Structure 1
């Protein structure tokens, strides 16, 4: 047996070709506050519980309303786009595509009223555009509902921030027309 650096030992046998290396670590006496850890953990859990209890019923209702709005809004928009896409492919799926020149969207699809009139006339592309409008309208509606909730609660800092978000959304949507 050979000794290396106090805690490191190598065991070797003359009969076999394998060596076994054993490392013995010295145990240090460390001052540790492991007994205080459960108290700290339970205190933080109590604080979290109190914060959850402090949320009023209207806060939870608003959170549920906004999450359902986003979830079902995206599902509705996706369903409308899927239906419109399937109907479009049934009618136009076998037509040859020409990519020789770029053709923009027809003017009837450039405004929400044009999209609605196209859908009412039975246009399949209009149905796809309606689904895209619903997808865009979902987060905008969420911001509007949040704004109304903040006004009702008189939380004016959040009202200002939400108005800034709504103004930037409106500018980005209306700015495309001008």
Structure 2
């Protein structure tokens, strides 16, 4: 064991009376140990030719699916909000803004069914609200897909963690209505 002291000199802390033990490993025992280690590693991950850890094919597919879900979910939500905003400005852009009083969202926009009925009636605010609902639904869908994948893969520690995240999301969405 070596330490660096305040003068930046290396000093040894080894005991002078300690024994040195050497072991000789036979090549066949070493090969057997290496094969058993490789078998254990193949169950959880893969190692490439440079001995770097790589993800299994199912892990790569899940990662690809979740990243695309987030990417395209946010992109679609943004486009929907943008289109709704353009339509809103076309019909209400010349009206003066009234910032004197706070007016909350209309009651029709407080539920998903209300948003759908507002869109059916041609409301541009309904389109904006739909985009916002899509934006909120994207990470929730990601958690649901992750939970189902971990259940199928029997990764129970991740099932527990993802269930806690899902419970937290559910509680945060439902609690304002109680």
TM-score by length of 1: 0.70
For the aligned residue pairs, the C-alpha RMSD in angstroms reads 1.5
Structure 2 residue ranges without an equivalent (≥5): 1-48
Q: Which residue of 2 aligns with 1:75?
A: 75
Aligned-pair distance for 1:47? 3.2
Q: Bigger shift: 93-102 or 80-89?
A: 93-102
Aligned-pair distance for 1:57? 1.6
Q: Which residue of 2 aligns with 1:138?
A: 138
Q: Which of 1 and 2 has greater Rg? A: 1
Runs of 4 or more above 6 Å deviation: none
Residues 28-75 of structure 1: per-residue CA shift (max 9 Å, x gap): xxxxxxxxxxxxxxxxx9332xx21xx322111111000000000000
Structure 1 residue ranges without an equivalent (≥5): 1-44
Q: Give me the whole-angstrom Cα distance separating, in 2, the residues matched to 1:131 and 1:75.
A: 10
Q: Give me the whole-angstrom Cα distance separating, in 2, the residues matched to 1:128 and 1:149.
A: 32
Q: Give me the whole-angstrom Cα distance separating, in 2, the residues matched to 1:103 and 1:140.
A: 28
Aligned-pair distance for 1:172? 0.8
Q: Give me the whole-angstrom Cα distance separating, in 1, the residues matched to 2:83 and 2:98.
A: 24
SS at match of 1:175: helix
Q: Bigger shift: 80-89 or 58-67?
A: 58-67
Q: Give me the whole-angstrom Cα distance separating, in 2, the residues matched to 1:156 and 1:68.
A: 25
- 2:86 aligned with 1:86, yes or no? yes
1:105-144 residue pairs with structure 2 within 5 A? 105-144=105-144
- 2:151 aligned with 1:147, yes or no? no
Q: Give me the whole-angstrom Cα distance separating, in 1, the residues matched to 2:140 and 2:73.
A: 11
TM-score by length of 2: 0.70
Q: Give me the whole-angstrom Cα distance separating, in 1, the residues matched to 2:61 and 2:100.
A: 54
Q: Give me the whole-angstrom Cα distance separating, in 2, the residues matched to 1:47 and 1:120.
A: 58
Q: Size of the alignment, in residue pairs?
A: 131
Q: Which residue of 2 aligns with 1:156?
A: 156
Q: Give me the whole-angstrom Cα distance separating, in 1, the residues matched to 2:136 and 2:51.
A: 39
